[in-house]
Amino acid sequence: MNFFAHALVASWRSSSPAYGLGAMLPDLAGMVGSRTPPVDHREVAAGIDLHHATDRAFHRLPVFVAAMTDIQRRLMALGVGRGAAAGAAHVGFELCLDGALLDEPHAIPHYLAALESARSDLRTAIAWPDDDIAARWHALVDRLAAWGPPERYRDLDLVATRIERTLAGRPRLALAAGESELLRGEMADIASCATAAAPGILLALRAELLP
């Protein structure tokens, strides 16, 4: 799952912005080129634990596995290589799932409150390994907060670009010349798949993660 979906899941358990920030932190840390850093805050740490529990549950859901298999198969049938098709199916589904979850109750307020906490009272609670990564972190949360609700996850052209950039640094998964356009041609179907799967995914995660 992507960070916005993690914020939504965190809102089921707690309205604490710190908890929501922790649930997003492993994904956001990757965006600034870092592993999940040590934190000096109980609720942030609990949110990080929830993130990992959510990912474990999500990645073994039959609806997710079936969607990945189908999207990868369709991309390969168009001529996308196996590794790139697998990577694009995984990343693309997760990003489109964020777009499908934008209308879920409490999702956007909880997400924005978590970002604001990272800019204010929790600004010093995260121990980044060096000043350069810390600067990238503060720039990232400022940028995400300024953008507001992540409506861009409904812009399929932007999502395709994000997929390409995410896979570009991974030689076995990177899209080769010409494969990006094949992916873009499939984005509407990938988004439709994520939207159709979203209710079942949320139901299954609630059953597993809520007390």
What's the pLDDT score for residue 169?
87
Q: What angle do CA 152, 8, 24 make, to 5 degrees?
A: 80
Tens-digit pLDDT string for the chain (211 aa): 999 999 999 999 999 999 999 999 999 999 999 999 999 999 999 999 999 999 999 999 999 999 999 999 999 999 999 999 999 999 999 999 999 999 999 899 999 999 999 999 998 899 999 999 999 999 999 999 999 999 999 999 999 999 999 999 899 999 998 999 999 999 999 999 999 999 999 999 999 999 7
pTM here? 0.93
Give the DSSP H or E segment for 177: none
What's the pLDDT score for residue 30?
94
Determine contact, residues 201/58, Cβ cutoff 8 Å: yes
- SS3 at position 129: coil
What's the pLDDT score for residue 193?
96
Alpha helices by DSSP H, the chain: 3-13, 17-31, 42-59, 62-78, 82-100, 107-119, 131-147, 156-168, 179-209
What's the pLDDT score for residue 91?
96
Residue (of 127, 119, 167) closest to 143 by Cα position: 119
